[in-house]
Amino acid sequence: MRKLIDKHKTLINWYQKKFKLSDYQLLWFVFFKGVLITTLFLKIF
């Protein structure tokens, strides 16, 4: 389980550096991504 958590943190850091996002911007991005995915699921099902 620890290995999975470390891999997840590594991927988050990689995306954050690649797109030059602050922690605050990353949180908003993830929030809106969740809203978009939820809306799509509700429209499909």
What pLDDT, in 10s, does the model give residues 9-45?
999 999 999 999 999 999 999 999 999 999 999 999 8
What band does 1 get if pLDDT is binned at 50, 70 and 90? Answer: very high
- Other C-beta atoms within 10 Å of 21: how many? 16
Q: What is the largest CA-CA distance in the chain?
A: 36
Q: Is the pTM of this model over 0.75?
A: no
| pLDDT computed for residue 16 by the predictor | 96
Instruction: Write out the residue range of the structural domain in which residue 16 sits.
Output: 2-44
Closest CA to 15 of 1, 35, 29, 31: 29
pLDDT band at 3 (very low <50, low <70, confident <90, very high): very high
Q: How many domains does the chain have?
A: 1
Q: For residues 10 and 45, what is the distance between their CA atoms, to the nearest angstrom?
A: 33
Q: What token pair was written down for 26? A: 């990353």
CA 31/CA 45 separation, integer angstroms:
21
pLDDT at 25: 97
